[in-house]
Structure 1
Amino acid sequence: MKSINKVLIVGGGIGGQSAGIALRQIGIDVEIVELQPKFDVYGVGIIQQANALRALDVLGCADEAMRRGSPYPMVKMCTPTGHQIAEAGTPPIGRFPSHNGISRRVLHEVLLERSKEVGVVYRMGLTVDTITNKQDGVDVVFSDGSTGSYDILIGGDGINSKVRNLIFGESKPNYVGLSNWRYAFRRPKDLDTGYIYFGKQSKLGIIPMTENSCYIFVVSAEGADNPFITQDQMIPKLQSYMAEYPIPMIQELIDQVVDAKLVNYRPLETLNLPAPWHKGNVIIIGDAAHATIPQLGSGAALAIEDAVVLAEEMKQQDGADAIFSRFMQRRYDRCKMVVESSEKLGEWELLAFEGKPLPEGANIGATMGKTCMALTQPI
Structure 2
Amino acid sequence: MARVSKVLIVGGGIGGLSLASGLRNRGLEVDLVEVKKEWTVYGVGIIQQFNVIRAMAQLGLVDRFLGAGFAFENVGLYSAEGSLLQLLPGVRAAGPEYPSNMGISRLTLHHVLSSAAVEKGTSIRLGLTVEHLAQDPDGVSVTFTDGSRGRYDLVVGADGLYSKVRAMVFGKELKPRFTGQGVFRHNFPRAPEIDHLASFYGRHHNAGLCPLSQDLMYLFVTSSEPGNPWMPEERLADIMRERLKEFGGLVGRLREQISDPRQVVYKPLEALFVSEPWYRGRVVLLGDAVHATTPHLGQGAGMAIEDAVVLSELLGEDAPVEALLSRYMQRRYERCRFIVESSLQIGDWEMQGASNADRTGIVRKMMDVTARPI
TM range (shorter): over 0.9
Contact 1:91/1:373 (<8 A) preserved: no
TM-score by length of 1: 0.94
Aligned to 2:288: 287
Distance in 2 between the 1:246 and 1:198 partners?
Answer: 11
Distance in 1 between the 2:319 and 2:344 partners?
Answer: 36
Q: Comparing 38-47 with 249-258, which one deviates more in the overlay?
A: 249-258
> What per-residue deviation string (whole Å, max 9, x for no partner) do you get for residues 90-138 of structure 1?
5221233232011011111001111111101110001111111111100
User: Matched residue of 2:12: which SS?
Assistant: coil
Aligned to 1:107: 109
> What per-residue deviation string (whole Å, max 9, x for no partner) do you get for residues 274-316 of structure 1?
1310011100000101101111111111111111111111111
Name the amino acid aligned to 2:370: L
Aligned to 2:359: 364
Aligned to 2:18: 18
Aligned to 1:326: 327
Distance in 2 between the 1:346 and 1:121 partners?
Answer: 39
The reply to whether residue 277 of structure 1 matches residue 272 of structure 2 is: no
**Alpha-carbon offset, residue 259 of structure 1:** 3.3
Aligned to 2:368: 373
Distance in 2 between the 1:42 and 1:317 partners?
Answer: 38
Q: Comparing 174-183 with 311-320, which one deviates more in the overlay?
A: 311-320
User: Matched residue of 1:253: which SS?
Assistant: helix
Contact 1:206/1:215 (<8 A) preserved: yes
Contact 2:75/2:90 (<8 A) preserved: no
User: Matched residue of 2:67: which SS?
Assistant: helix
Q: Comparing 324-333 with 191-200, which one deviates more in the overlay?
A: 191-200
**Alpha-carbon offset, residue 228 of structure 1:** 0.7
Contact 1:90/1:376 (<8 A) preserved: no
Name the amino acid aligned to 1:377: R
User: Residue 320 and residue 200 in structure 1: after superposition, are their counterparts in 2 closer, same or farther (change >3 A)?
Assistant: same
Aligned to 1:186: 189
Contact 1:314/1:323 (<8 A) preserved: yes
Select 2:238's aligned residue among 221, 228, 236.
236
Distance in 2 between the 1:89 and 1:144 partners?
Answer: 51
Aligned to 2:34: 34
Which structure 2 residues correspond to residues 67-106 of structure 1 after superposition, within 5 A?
67-88=67-88, 91-93=91-93, 94-95=95-96, 96-106=98-108
Select 1:161's aligned residue among 160, 163, 166.
163
The reply to whether residue 175 of structure 1 matches residue 178 of structure 2 is: yes
Aligned to 1:267: 268
Contact 1:88/1:365 (<8 A) preserved: no
Distance in 2 between the 1:374 and 1:15 partners?
Answer: 20
Aligned to 2:220: 217
User: Residue 132 and residue 261 in structure 1: after superposition, are their counterparts in 2 closer, same or farther (change >3 A)?
Assistant: farther
**Runs of at least 4 residues of structure 1 off by over 4 A?**
none
Q: Comparing 69-78 with 256-265, which one deviates more in the overlay?
A: 256-265
Name the amino acid aligned to 1:192: D
The reply to whether residue 340 of structure 1 matches residue 341 of structure 2 is: yes
Distance in 2 between the 1:307 and 1:322 partners?
Answer: 17
Contact 2:203/2:355 (<8 A) preserved: no
Distance in 1 between the 2:88 and 2:262 partners?
Answer: 31
- Return 5+ residue gaps in structure 2 as ranges: none
**Alpha-carbon offset, residue 51 of structure 1:** 0.3
Distance in 2 between the 1:346 and 1:254 partners?
Answer: 22
**Alpha-carbon offset, residue 88 of structure 1:** 4.3
TM-score by length of 2: 0.95
Aligned to 2:146: 144
Over the matched positions of the two proteins, sequence identity in percent amounts to 40
Contact 2:35/2:126 (<8 A) preserved: yes
Superposed CA RMSD in Å reads: 1.7
